[in-house]
Amino acid sequence: MQYRRLGYSGLQVSSLGLGTNAFGKRADQDASSRILHYALDHGINFIDTANIYANTESERIIGEALKGRRHEAVLATKAGLPTGNGANERGSSRYYLMQELDNSLRRLKTDYVDLYQIHTFDPNTPLDETLRTLDDMVASGKVRYIGASNYAAWEIMKALGISDLKGYIRYTSTQTSYSLADRTPELELVPMCLDQGVGIIPYFPLAGGILTGKYNSSSNHSAPSGSRAETDPNFKRFLVDKNIELGQRVSQFADEYGYTPNALSLSWLMQRPAVSTVIVGATRTGQLEDNLKSLDIQIDEELNRKLDEVSESFVHGKPFASYRLS
């Protein structure tokens, strides 16, 4: 396994991380536990979850699975997206964050998280309130590092400015949709992160499976059996010609060089500037085994040029995904 610093911090995280959005949803408790232990056994230490994943089941399952192995994991969770319909059941107010951190710690069966992330920017709460709360969490020992998610570049920069002015702990990382099918972070977010020492944690690195080739031969872009598009009908909005064609081209390049398309796509992303760890989900250990092959790929100049050219239009396209408070 390869390890990298998370942003400018001293925390070492595995280049490939485990996303657990499917735990308790598309992977039951036994399958999720096997996946988590397989990841740890193969050097993956970065485990990412959130308070809302599978209606809190993801955190609960991770808490059970990590018994006796908590020290091996860099455990990251999030709060900020709605957990209910109440006025104080979303956002990044002190009231909500303090409550949700304690709830997450209870489900995760731990007394601290390594990385606590604000799931999305909250336009209704002053950043000073959010950052002061996060600073207090770190001072209390319940949180080691803090991160953002789904923030625009200017929003993170504003937060960093406030932290520097007030002496609060700074955001160490940010999560964003980033892949060959979504290169929009390269316009503003990547330069800002490089300048400010913020590590990027891409989610949807395989564009929900489009970059694995599973949709390449689907007639009329129908959903293959067992795919995300079959279990989540909303995902079908991504099955447009432009995305499918990109998946086909990436598969062609992978075949030419003897790689799998998912391993090639992950390797390309790992080598992008400012990227600290790439989180990828799994519903069975076989998927994780295949994704680990990305660590052995060295993309040469010619292949890198081909991948850049075929995905260039996705720099100026729409983000593949972005989660914001309405």
Could you report the per-residue pLDDT of 122-134, keeping only the tens digit for each? 999 999 999 999 9
Give the DSSP H/E element, type plus range, for residue 116. Answer: strand 113-118
Active site residue 53: yes
- Secondary-structure percent of the chain, ordered helix, strand, coil, rounded to 5: 50, 15, 35
Which percentage of the chain shows pLDDT scores above 90?
90
pLDDT at 238: 77
Confidence of residue 230 (pLDDT cuts 50, 70, 90): low
Least-confidence region, from 7-21, 193-207, 220-234, 252-266: 220-234
* H or E segment and range at residue 68: none
> Tokens at residue 215, please?
């949709």
Reported confidence tier of residue 239, pLDDT bands at 50, 70, 90: confident
How many of the other CB atoms lie within 10 Å of CB of 322? Answer: 13
Encoded tokens for 272: 């992008």
pLDDT for the residue numbered 295: 97
For the segment 118-147, the average pLDDT, to the nearest whole number, is: 98
Closest among 5, 4, 8 to 198, alpha carbons compared:
8
Comparing CA positions, the residue from 38, 39, 46, 49 lying closest to residue 15 is 46
Q: What is the dihedral of CA 271, 276, 280, 286, to 10 degrees?
A: 70
pLDDT of residue 219: 47
Name the average pLDDT for the chain: 94
Nearest to 271 by CA among 315, 246, 304: 304
DSSP lists the bridge partners of residue 145 as: 115
Phi first, then psi: give them for residue 311, nearest 5 degrees: -110, 5
pLDDT at 243: 93
Taking phi over 0 as left and psi of -120 to 50 as alpha, with beta for the rest, 43 belongs to: left
**How far is residue 22 CA from its own chain's centroid?**
13
Q: CA-to-CA distance for 292 and 272, rounded, in angstroms? A: 17
Q: Tell which residue, 21, 20, 103, has the closest CA to residue 66.
A: 20
- Greatest C-alpha distance within the chain: 57
| Mean pLDDT in residue range 284-289 | 96
Among 87, 69, 68, 90, which residue's Cα sits nearest to residue 79?
90
Given pLDDT bands bounded at 50, 70 and 90, which one contains residue 214? confident
Question: In which residue are the tokens 């009329």 written?
Answer: 220
Domains and CATH numbers, the chain: 3-207+262-301 (3.20.20.100)
pLDDT at 100 over 50: yes
> Annotated catalytic residue: which of 3, 8, 38, 53?
53
Distance CA 18, CA 281 (A): 6
pLDDT attached to residue 69: 98
